[in-house]
Amino acid sequence: MPLIGCVPNVSEGRHEEIIQLISSEIASVRGVKLLDVTSDSELNRSVFTFVGTQTPLRRAVYRMMRVAFEKIDISKHKGKHPRIGIIDVIPFIPLRATTMERCIRLSKTVGKDLAENFGVPVYLYEQSATAPERVSINDIRSGEYEGFFEKIQRPEWKPDFGPARIHPTAGAVAVGARPPIITFNITLKNVTVKGARSIIEEIRAAGARPRQVKAILLDKGRRNKMTIAVNVFDYKNTPMYAVLEAAEKGARREGAQVVGVKLIGLITADVLIKSLNYYMKVEEFDSSQVLEFHLPPRRNRAQ
């Protein structure tokens, strides 16, 4: 059965009742399995990870957008993560027995659905992008919601679907298809904004190829503690530990410290195994040596 992943980022991380309501709507769709919800109150953002086939995924995205449309007002949103709308970004990811082309088609169908049903401007990004300047979510997100009132008037930023005007309470949304990525935040201590930006360049240079590691500074207000958001696109050739080593190297140079790493959403087992092999020098280790991987899944007692 073709299986596709979906990882929408919603601009709400502080009101648990809204997060729970969105989670319930996703989980209620037959053919969709909600795997993870990661929320951050400082970023005021939640990341939902779920999997399914095309039609159920389309239905789940519609339902979560309906709740977000009713419950979230992007004009009142305050948080440390850049955003353009109540649902900032919706990526579709080929997983089992499916193709990137199928995910691209689904992203276009969903984008058209959202524009027609909610009146929001929709931009296709990553492998669904219709122009080079729309491939990167950072380029689309530049200026954020507040800057989009003017930005959307430029011909080069006419949306792929929907009206050429920002929705006053829902903003805009980016929808696309991409491979699986590893997303995490690195917290630094005793660092200046200038030092953090220098560390970001060190992190970006860790990629096996240019632009395969993206990093942005999330918070610039605190003098002694700052957070860098990292996306590793080519994680098979750029191990997570290589990115963390680059961050440590940059931090030492700047007289700072890496004090924490927070995973955003889910991570693949091979990423952790590579890090285990690197840091613990475990020889010829693989997932078959993990006890829990051999145990049958837990059954829900309510069933």
Q: Please report the beta strands in the chain, taking only residues with DSSP state E, as ranges in sequence order.
A: 3-6, 9-10, 32-40, 45-52, 87-96, 122-126, 173-177, 182-189, 213-217, 225-232, 257-263
Do 71 and 21 contact (CB within 8 A), yes or no?
yes
Q: How does DSSP classify residue 132?
A: G
Do 67 and 46 contact (CB within 8 A), yes or no?
no
Catalytic site residues? 81
* Distance, CA of 77 to CA of 22 (rounded, Å): 17
| Closest C-alpha among 68, 75, 82, 72 to residue 166 | 75
* Distance, CA of 22 to CA of 41 (rounded, Å): 16
